[in-house]
Amino acid sequence: MMLEGLTAADSGALPLYAVRPDGLAMFLDALPGAGAAFLRATGFAAGSGEHALLPGPDGLAGAVVGLGTESSPWSYGGLPKALPAGSSWRLETGSGDAGLATLGWALGAYRARRHKAAGSAPASLETPAGTEQAVMIAEAICTARSLINAPAADLGPAELADATASLATRHGATCEVVAGTALAQDFPAIAAVGGGSHRAPRVAMLRWTGAADGPLVALCGKGVCFDTGGLDLKTPSGMLRMKKDMAGAAVVLAVAEMVMRSALPVRLLVLVGAVENATSATAMRPMDVLRTRKGLKVEVGNTDAEGRLVLCDLLTYASEYNPTAIIDCATLTGAARVALGPDLPALFCNDDALADRLLAAGRANHDPMWRLPLHDGYDSWLDSPFADLSNVSQKPMAGAVTAALYLRRFVPPDIAWAHLDMYAWNDANRPGRPEGGEAQCARALHAMIAELPKKHHLASSL
């Protein structure tokens, strides 16, 4: 199905010109009719995302969008909702980057439609030839957004596991879902987190082989479908967006879809810990001591620090397969947002080569992240007098760092591991990034994984 905002060839499509500031004078000189005079009179400067409609003898002759000084999909991302509703456009040959235009347009046209009337249709772009990869990436991102935007009443642990299984079926992968007594035995920390909800926790495990001898990449996603905070209950305002606490799982599913549809010569192990952190007589309590898959005993210093309890069992399981790299994604700490704000996921990594590749992929794909330290000096802050470690530090500082240090306890030091602590939400509408769920880091992760087979010998040293 064609994404909303994209269309096949349309004979009625109007021309869209994309212009940089340094090419504006030449463009204006070549523009026919009254368009050039109109743009000069209105002060059009070709800034990123700046756009103008071009008048013609019969009304509308076309439109122009500025690209600014950098190539970015966001230059095009505001057009679907800024240009006349329902209008159709074609990118003029040689005008802008067709792939970036398609990606930005499709991401900008996305609307949360599950419980909201459609309203006016966005403007549509005639999909340029050779942009299949951009369309595929946009489809994966929009699917992840819809998962994140779904109310918790619609998307619980069972539904999130079903989404994983459905993805596997569509792309020739396998999926195993672990629940009940098997979950309690093999993933005890996850079972404890989900023990307070009537919606039972699950672990969904997707496996896919793009090349039998390809590097194995393990992706672990925090899938807390709603987080009340447990008995350490969140405030009402703190709970408002907690349907998005499964965004880490949505991101790894988006990455898996991109990898499989790109037929990359790698092997995937995707682990989704699908739970609900609820309050009840069967919920875990502060100062309970939990067993983990690794065998470490963890004291619950705070029941609202449940995401790391979900991830620690997934990381242990992934490590047992000795992958080339393990990457986990999670909406884990408010401390990361205090440090970096909503747009920069925090990257923690035990291997400089892997970190450098992730950072480079983020920069190249307009999907940034920022590295924070795994500072050994704070590791003792997780000590507990009653268990091997606590799930939180009792110090009111460096919360994102201590959360990452907790997770590091569950990954062997000889396996390259990256932890991405993300917000996964747009607080307001921006070009290409509508208000609501966002699959942060997914495009960067896909790009990084695509490079692994080309550097297979280097990858083995990770």
Q: List active site positions.
A: 234, 308
Instruction: Give yes or no for a contact between 333 and 358, defined as CB atoms under 8 angstroms apart.
Output: no
Residue 15 CA to its chain's centroid (Å): 33
Residue 101 CA to its chain's centroid (Å): 20
Report angle CA 290, 292, 296 to the nearest 5 degrees. Answer: 90
Instruction: Classify burial at 112, counting beta carbons within 10 Å of its beta carbon; exposed 0-12, middle 13-18, buried 19 or more.
Output: middle
Q: What are 437's strand-pairing partners?
A: 425
First to last CA, the chain: 39
For the four alpha carbons of 122, 127, 131 and 133, in that order, the dihedral sign comes to: positive
SS (H, E, C) 38-103: HHHHHCCCCCCCCEEEEEECCEEEEEEEECCCCCCCHHHHCHHHHCCCCCEEEECCCCCCHHHHHH
- Tell me the two tokens of residue 81: 């909702």
Cα→Cα distances 141→106, 137, 182, 204, 327, Å: 10, 6, 32, 20, 18
**Backbone dihedral angles phi then psi of residue 367, each to the nearest 5 degrees:** -135, 65
Pairing of strands 325-330, 416-421: parallel
Residue in the structure block whose two tokens are 């096949």? 8
Instruction: Give yes or no for a contact between 405 and 374, defined as CB atoms under 8 angstroms apart.
Output: yes
Q: Which H or E run contains 219?
A: strand 216-227
> What is the rounded distance in angstroms from the CA atom of residue 220 to the CA atom of residue 214?
19
**Backbone dihedral angles phi then psi of residue 123, each to the nearest 5 degrees:** -65, 150
The angle that helices 247-261 and 157-170 make with each other, rounded to 10 degrees, is: 10
**Collapsing DSSP states into helix, strand and coil, what is residue 420?**
strand
Q: Which H or E run contains 277?
A: strand 267-277
